Amino acid sequence: MKIIVPIDFSPNSIKALEMALTMANKKHGQVILIHVIEMVYDFASQAAIALESMYSDGEKQLKALINNYSGSQINMSYKLLEGSPAITVARLAEEENATLIVMGTKGASGINKVLIGSTAVNLIREATCPVLIIPEKANIASIKKVTLALEFANHEEKFIDWIVNMSQRWQLGLEFLHVQTQQEFRDQLSVLGLEKYLEKKYPELPVRIHTYYAESASAGLEEYLDEHENTILVMCHEHKNLWKQILEKSESVAMAYHTHIPLLIMN
């Protein structure tokens, strides 16, 4: 398992690194730190001096980080690159065939400040592998499970298989969540179908499926997270309706998932 961790040396990027180290398999896991230098070239002569200093300082700090966490027994390395943060991180993840990107975000005002227009949301759009967002107030020590929010769409099969595999690797419980905005019989059938699918494909997997009834998908998610705070919420980027509510509607964005729930986006 290969995990990419963008590092800007802030406390929350260090928290993301610690999360990545707990998720990496000690025998075969690998964590690659990446620090991206983003330059604004006003004067060429000054830019060259500034760039050299940034590379020197960045390398020192990356080496110190690896040394500090050498006791984790995880294979750790680093990349120091120049460019646009989101594009550079996404490109490295693709080149390295990474399993996952783990990124810390900061800001206590919620997803509207943490994600919208930020490196995080741009990275989600650019990346071809799953992206795990660690909010500033996340308590990674309290995480006991992952929760996959489903819309019962065709594209979700590969994500179900991926998250089942990862939850077992991470030794975390696994739950499924479906939010119904209308009382429809087909949704009830879909839940029963999911239970049978999981029982047949993963007979030893304890299956727990939550169905919440709410006016909107985001309201249902908020209600679930009020009752289940020790989880990583997993969503598919192809969830057009759900993603639109979370990223575009201010009333949905404002809830911010309590600003401390890690969010794993499947691409």
Sign of CA dihedral 254, 260, 266, 267: positive
Place of tokens 């594209």: 155
Indicate the pTM of the whole model: 0.85
Q: Average pLDDT for residues 145-156, to the nearest whole number?
A: 86
- % of the chain at pLDDT higher than 70: 82
What value does the mean pLDDT of the chain take? 81
What three-state secondary structure class fits 29?
coil
User: Are the beta carbons of 132 and 166 closer than 8 angstroms?
Assistant: no
Average pLDDT estimate for 235-250:
55
Give the residue carrying structure tokens 């969830």.
Answer: 239
244 Cβ contact list (under 8 Å, min separation 6): none
Q: 152: which 2 tokens?
A: 């019962």
| Beta strand pairing call for 173-180 and 209-213 | parallel
Question: Which range is least confidently modeled, 104-108, 132-136, 251-255?
Answer: 251-255
33-42, 80-89, 93-102, 245-254: range with lowest mean pLDDT: 245-254
